[in-house]
Structure 1
Amino acid sequence: MRKLIYGIGVSMDGYINDRDGSIDWTDPDDELHQFHNDRYRQIEISLHGRRLYELMAEHWPHVSEDAPPIQREFSELWTAKPKFVFSRTLTEVKWNSTLVSENAVEEVRRLKAAGDGVMEVGGASLAASLIPHGLIDEYQMFIVPVALGGGTPFFPLLDKRIRLRLAETRQFDTALMLRYLVD
């Protein structure tokens, strides 16, 4: 069975974006950016919600040739990576993406059962639909030293506790990674 990881930048007060939806405060240093590139290389399938897909599709396929090599590398990785985009409003997706417009929970269950690699879920809304069903196996929080006071929370409201076990910490200049496994 594939493992599903939910990993994203998060403010110290638990938000993945600010009240306006901006993530401009998550700008990674080169070491963290390379870590994300290396991590993404190990991901077999990437699951995106509509908002994250639109944000990524607006930027990564269009990185200029004079951009830093680390950004060009991620651009190539992102456009080539198989992606499943979950949206009821999009009618088309590009860059090696498959559109899923119905029953995200069942589709993710199917994808998990169809292999033994690693998948990642990007986007708090998509992750929030999967968390109550126990589909997330690992949480990677990249905590940025900023308090936003509001925005989209990393975790949705939960009906019951999720027991986690700290598996790794790693400090970067711009963030602290906390990697938790579901017990």
Structure 2
Amino acid sequence: MGRLVYTTICSLDGYVNDAAGRFDWAAPDSEVHAFVNDLEREVGTYLCGRRLYETMVFWETAPTDGPGDAVTQDYARIWQAADKVVHSRTLESVTSARTRLERGFDPAAAAQLAASSDRDVSIGGPTLAAEALRAGIVDELRLLTVPAVVGGGTPALPDGIRLDLALLDARRFAGGTTYARYAVRRPSPSIPPTG
């Protein structure tokens, strides 16, 4: 059974991009990128919104061998080998292999996909992830926090939700980025008293 996982890179003040929409300050160095590659090897399917897909589709044609950076080539192979589901009401079509377009997000279908998968399902993009978090279907949060305060932008986590989390793993990288992996604690179902 796979897990539904939300992995994101964010600023110390909790944004995935700044008020101008830029995220160049979040570009991982080779140590962090190699670590992310190892996390992403567990992913069989990516669920993403339009904006994230339009950013990530670069990896569809990125080189996977030959001269160049081995870490980025490794990530290109990981992306190209995974299935992708893009949730968008405005995107006309998808341009990557192993990709399908969905017009709406169905939390029950996403939860079932993860439950029936032998690999993890990654939900990406803060807007789509917010829907999954509000629906209570996310199993893990994986937050990579860069040492930057950007003062505004798109929040990594939505307002108005409460999650009880259990820290599973943490790491600090040489460049100052930190990683924290949390399991989402779900309330135990109440058992009716017997009579």
Q: TM-score, normalised by structure 2?
A: 0.86
SS of the aligned residue for 2:113 comes to: helix
Distance 1:179 1:113 in 2: 20
Rounded to whole Å, the distance in 1 between the matches of 2:118 and 2:78 is: 21
Give the drift of 1:20. Answer: 1.8
What is the SS of the residue equivalent to 2:41?
helix
Structure 1: distance between partners of 2:79 and 2:117: 21
Counterpart in the other structure of 1:102: 104
For 1:60, the equivalent position in structure 2 comes to 59
Contact 2:3 2:115 in 1 (8 A): no
Q: Is structure 2 residue 73 aligned with structure 1 residue 72? A: yes
Instruction: Determine the structure 2 residue equivalent to 1:6.
Output: 6
Structure number with greater Rg is: 2
Report the equivalent of 2:24.
Answer: 24
160-169 or 131-140, which moves further after superposition?
160-169
DSSP-derived class of the 1:67 partner: coil
Counterpart position of 2:45 = 45
Alignment root-mean-square deviation, CA: 1.6
SS of residue in 1 equivalent to 2:179:
strand
Q: After the TM superposition, which residues 117-132 of structure 1 pair with which residues of structure 2 at under 5 Å, given as runs?
A: 117-132=119-134
Distance 1:5 1:110 in 2: 14
The match for 1:166 is 167
- The match for 1:114 among 116, 124, 127 is 116
The normalised TM-score by structure 1 is 0.91
The equivalent of 1:176 in structure 2 is 178
Q: What is the letter of the counterpart of residue 33 of structure 2?
A: H
- Give the gaps of 5 or more residues in structure 2: 186-195
Query: CA–CA distance in 2 between the matches of 1:42 and 1:113?
Result: 14
Q: Distance in 1 between matches of 2:45 and 2:60?
A: 17
Q: Is the Cα contact below 8 Å between 1:139 and 1:179 reproduced in 2?
A: yes
* Contact kept in structure 1, 2:4 and 2:111, CA below 8 Å: no
2:189 aligned partner:
none
Counterpart of 1:110, as a letter, is Q
Q: Contact 2:45/2:121 (CA < 8 Å) preserved in 1? A: yes
Identity of aligned residues (%): 36
SS, match of residue 170 in structure 1: strand
Higher share of residues assigned helix: 1
| Match in the other structure for 2:146 | 144
The number of residue pairs the alignment matches comes to: 181
Residue 116 of structure 1: how far off its partner (Å): 4.3
- SS of residue in 1 equivalent to 2:149: coil
Distance (whole Å) between structure 1 residues aligned to residue 60 and residue 114 of structure 2: 27
Residue of structure 1 equivalent to 2:33? 33
Q: Deviations over 1:141-182 (max 9, x none)?
A: 101000010011111112x42111111111112310011111
Aligned to 1:95, what secondary structure does the other structure show?
A: coil
